[in-house]
Structure 1
């Protein structure tokens, strides 16, 4: 089947023709085009998050997104592919997402002591599936404004806070969350809607709000 492939390259859209099997992931489609398209990839199995891009207006992992599924919901036999817009563009569909790792360091997302066994191992397992792919930040209407650090911090912190036995570091994680995440999140649910790993991000946010914000309010109000 012949389709049009519309790709945003250096700020402008270019249209390419593709004639062949559509039961392929977008990563394979990009490799089969006559024009070389640069993009990030590593595992090609949906495990690293490197190939995140915007496909038909939605942030997705290109290796897990099949062309035939996208063509079925798009008119005129065309698929549109763009780089993530919330990060500096490197080339073609490749972006620099190092800021995601930088804010994890700024928000002290690590353990200072031996990990405690969590009371909810299933929750911790779900949170540990975050790929740091950037899909949630791409979909978030608040990311890119003020000092909002992104949902990956809430996801990580919600797991660490149950495992950290160093009370001072635990307090620091909560304080960083309260200062850099809580005031900026409007809970649009966009992050959860687009997460390729189906992480229940709202559960993570609710847990951290309860641990770092509402608990402080209870103590100040005398409600113990």
Structure 2
């Protein structure tokens, strides 16, 4: 067993803990062993996205992040754990990610019609549907500040809906919201794709939305 130092940001300050147990455990298990630290969790299987936090300066799912991997990759016996910085802290490592869902509502990320299925798009649409709304992508994004920019979750969601929607008015709304709330703000740093725990190819979603909503000249003529 290797003795390690665990530094956890609580109330804006780092508190230091010692740990000398098994390193083949996840960060969520570590937090349970340390005790008394509040954080969000649900499935503990990397399927819900609740336990996203910043571990050794990178946004990750705590249930999928193992101490042994972190120690080996950083080559020293220290692990830092912080709450996501782009959302209000509720307590300890628990944050309020409700803005992600508010943005879905504001950008009308739903279907107003029966879904149109294109067999050529099924694999792409399935991949986009894997988004956990965990917040890792916006945490890594250099431009996301919780204000006008809605972040990658909207691009991922819209890239699926825009192929399925058959209501022409709502299709225009999806494109308009993307143009207003995403396109002018994204600098294509690809940080979102690098940290996505589901390995979603976010740049494919962004490229598809840019092609559908921005680069078609007939959009300037107010055509569908």
TM score, norm. by length of structure 2: 0.95
Does 1:45 find its partner at 2:45? yes
Out of 12-21 and 139-148, give the one that drifted further.
139-148
CA drift at 1:14: 0.5
Deviations 1:95-126 (A, max 9, x none): 00000000000000000111010231000000
C-alpha RMSD over aligned residues: 1.2
Q: What SS does the aligned partner of 2:116 have?
A: coil
**1:131 to 1:219, Cα distance in 2 relative to 1, 3 A:** closer
CA drift at 1:2: 1.3
Q: Distance in 1 between the 2:57 and 2:197 partners? A: 15
Q: Distance in 2 between the 1:219 and 1:143 partners? A: 27
Q: What SS does the aligned partner of 1:73 have?
A: helix
Q: What SS does the aligned partner of 2:43 have?
A: coil
1:123-162 superposed matches below 5 A:
123-144=124-145, 147-162=148-163
Partner of 1:72: 72
Q: Distance in 2 between the 1:164 and 1:22 partners? A: 48
Does 1:25 find its partner at 2:26? yes
**1:42 to 1:56, Cα distance in 2 relative to 1, 3 A:** same
- Say whether the 8 Å CA contact 2:87–2:146 is kept in structure 1: no
Does 1:6 find its partner at 2:3? no
Partner of 1:199: 200
Does 1:106 find its partner at 2:103? no
Partner of 1:186: 187
Give 5+ residue unaligned stretches, structure 1: none
TM score, norm. by length of structure 1: 0.95
Deviations 1:19-45 (A, max 9, x none): 111001100010001x41100000000
**1:117 to 1:9, Cα distance in 2 relative to 1, 3 A:** same
Q: Distance in 2 between the 1:39 and 1:100 partners? A: 18
CA drift at 1:72: 1.0
Q: What SS does the aligned partner of 1:104 have?
A: helix
- How many residues matched? 219
